[in-house]
Chains A and B, each alone.
Chain A
């Protein structure tokens, strides 16, 4: 069950609209800074496919100026380094940030 959090920089004037858009995405919760144009997005999806679909949708949001990964959980079901998805993100100027959390061993 992939889980990430992001910092989201909206395009000027798009803060409120983007907050609503992100909040409506499946598996997502969004929080706006009280006095600044900055959002936190928590994305909690049931499986890798949903996670990939969500990331594609995030990539397609015009109101997003910049998307920074702040936290990501890796589990064996989530493929790392999807070349096509990575290329799209690079093209849109998104940045990746550490850390990536290792899953604890299953007992």
Chain B
């Protein structure tokens, strides 16, 4: 429908002013402009965060006749400024797959039968109650997701910990972000980045640690490229175990052997010390030195337990420790030339350069994930490049609400919305807001994710409810845990939107409302909470995950704890949840403001976002009497620099299994592909998973591009097509498989070893052999 002349001029005028504002103040947003839509269009545009990754792009969803018909980037969003990636632009098509689950299903005599949803919810509640009565409250478990909305996670936490009284609550972010969390907590005492995306607009150097940012966080990567285009002195350094699209866009691509990032980080610190690049004043005033345990194991045994212990150390202890990490020694171990290590160190050590380190799964999915997070913080702490514009160690997130829900609401066994279950004051604080006796909240964590599924296998857990995630594709050492779900006397409930290998093992399937079919909130990598209204009617009997939990909670007798109406429950939950975080260290924005704006960062104090935490100029929670910085998360108000060594992974290639196996994602597909494989253009782009093999290895094996091969590990085997010289180029002795394809489940091969501190599994390193077919 054509614009009339006046409307065209008005829109042009506003667009010109907004464009000029963006040039002057790149992060300025005008949420009021988004409300000015031309009402004569028959498409209504409403804001929402993207359904997919942790960047948290702001979208405008085009709605017509009760359907989502278009997507554009929200120019008012300071995250993406009107740009999307290919998944975002096609995101609404994920709502309309032909095999969408719209009815509740119950398995009877091996077959799934449609039932009214109330009947299914009755069954879920009855089985929960029966399991608790027969086996105890720790025999039931809830496994959720970093794709839960904040209200979903909050209801889950209140139900399991406050009402039922079990800490058997975990989420798939244990598999993606737990090491980032423990990295933050051990170094700073508080979770989540101290900086924000705006650091990109100030940095002179970007060092990417094991992160294929071009494909995994494409819109943010485009901001790096734009920064470099406008400021040619800017450098992008890619540190990775294989070459990717990120490598080809970088100024320098360095390949390291798996696990040796630990040594590289220490070598950089060695050079910083040797060259006198330490910011001595910063270290003296704001840093404490600590040492933890070493030789800490890999969690391979059921019931594995580990607790670290911090011992005080000194700068001199660090210097002595670093003597083993000369660039030459680390070159021998890692394969990265000593001169390149020195070059990296010089970039960090140059006081005139602002440096941003960025990482995600390469560092987090790591049997020493906490350690490598500590070590990258060490680099920044030694040179005083932290908590100020452009100087930013930045942990990126994979999922849209791994931060906002799992980490901030606390949907992990040891967590509460504020604090941890082991802290009595934190339990009292939660109990008061929830309106439950403090004795309800167990003071000991129970099972992290891998242990939870081991407990299911052993029979210590008999009932598990899985929401918004697909563990029958994503769990490491998959065969064991799939068989666990299928054992006698296990009852599995799955809430999802499409059939998956996880719904295949379910006894009850509950149809979930998806994304813009329900009101919700996400929280992205940079502490930005984003709200969206319900825009569409969910099909059939589909119901928001939070509402499913509330319905079951009421059937269990907890109506008094979940009294809200369906129309108001999101707002009421948000208002209750905010109370847990009251105060300048974590204040969350009011509901009405979140509805109006394209996201608001927390802490949100006196109407302003805190962009740089711990910096007394920017953070109202930081005490100016302590100088430029106040790392108030620690009792001594200092950041803790941890002395951590290199330790090898538990399984390395040998004669029988001579290849490293690395796993990850591709641009076009999100996680296990249950949504993106139902979007035709994305599916056609990458229709099936493949194994990347170096051309010389392929030649030695007699494997051609496109040929089927068998991958075999100590845990299982799979058949897959080989890809040689594709978009990713592993070095010799390494293969890579993306995990989006449920028909080619790479996790039958992987190892369920984990970081003993974070309990996060390592999906990047195990040993396989390749057999031509």
Contact = CB atoms under 8 A, between A and B. Distances in A.
Interface of A: 1, 3-7, 31-36, 38, 40-42, 44, 68, 70-71, 73, 97, 99, 101, 104
A98 B694 CA distance: 55
B10 interface: yes
B13 A7 contact: no
B700 interface: no
B14 A7 contact: no
B32 A7 contact: no
A97 B346 CA distance: 43
Nearest to A72: B13
Contacts of B598: 34
Given A3-B9, A101-B9, A101-B12, A34 B30 contact: yes
B33 interface: yes
A44 B10 CA distance: 8
A97 B12 CA distance: 15
A34 B17 contact: no
Contact of B13 (A1, A3, A68): A3
- 8 A-B pairs closest in CB distance: A5-B13, A71-B16, A70-B17, A5-B17, A71-B13, A31-B32, A33-B28, A40-B17
Contacts of A70: 13, 16-17, 19-20
B608 interface: yes
Contact of A71 (B17, B31, B33): B17
A73 to B, nearest CB: 6
Contact of B17 (A6, A32, A99): A6
A97 to B, nearest CB: 7
B615 to A, nearest CB: 17
B10 A7 contact: no
10 contacts: A1-B6, A5-B17, A34-B31, A34-B598, A35-B27, A40-B14, A40-B21, A40-B33, A70-B13, A70-B17
Contacts of A42: 10, 13-14, 17
Interface string B1-38: 00001100110111011111100110111111100000
A5 B33 CA distance: 13
A94 B33 CA distance: 24
A54 to B, nearest CB: 14
Contact of A40 (B9, B10, B30): B30
Contacts of B17: 5-7, 40-42, 70-71
Contacts of B24: 7, 38
A33 B597 CA distance: 11
Nearest to A9: B24
B33 A36 contact: no
A55 B16 CA distance: 19
Question: Which of A3, A70, A73 is packed against the most chain B CB atoms within 10 Å?
Answer: A70
A33 B29 contact: yes
A35 B12 contact: no
Question: Which of B13, B24, B29, B30 is packed against the most chain A CB atoms within 10 Å?
Answer: B13
B33 A31 contact: yes
Range for the number of chain B residues in contact with chain A? 20 to 34
B436 to A, nearest CB: 37
B28 A35 contact: yes
A33 B25 contact: yes
A7 B9 CA distance: 17
A35 B196 CA distance: 14
Contact of B28 (A36, A44, A68, A71): A36
Contacts of A44: 10
Nearest to A31: B32
B21 A38 contact: yes
Given A3-B9, A33-B21, A38 B16 contact: no
A69 to B, nearest CB: 9
A35 to B, nearest CB: 6
Contacts of B13: 3-5, 42, 70-71, 73
Contact of A33 (B14, B30, B608, B609): B30
Nearest to B609: A35
A5 B18 CA distance: 10
A32 B28 CA distance: 10
Contacts of A40: 14, 17-18, 21, 30, 33
Interface in B447-506: none
A38 B12 contact: no
A3 B6 CA distance: 9
Nearest to B596: A34
A34 B597 contact: yes
B504 to A, nearest CB: 46
A71 B21 CA distance: 12
Question: Which of B6, B27, B30 is packed against the most chain A CB atoms within 10 Å?
Answer: B30
Contacts of B19: 70
Contacts of A32: 30, 32
Contacts of B10: 3, 42, 44
B12 A7 contact: no
A40 to B, nearest CB: 4
B29 A73 contact: no
A34 B6 CA distance: 27
A93 B65 CA distance: 51
A31 B13 CA distance: 13
A3 B597 CA distance: 27
B632 to A, nearest CB: 23
Contacts of B31: 34
A68 B5 contact: no
A7 B21 contact: yes
A9 B12 CA distance: 21
A98 B446 CA distance: 65
B739 to A, nearest CB: 38
A33 B18 CA distance: 10
B25 A68 contact: no
A86 to B, nearest CB: 21
Nearest to B597: A34
Question: Which of B5, B17, B28, B33 is packed against the most chain A CB atoms within 10 Å?
Answer: B17
A44 B608 CA distance: 32
Interface in B598-613: 598, 608-609
A32 B29 CA distance: 9
B544 to A, nearest CB: 28
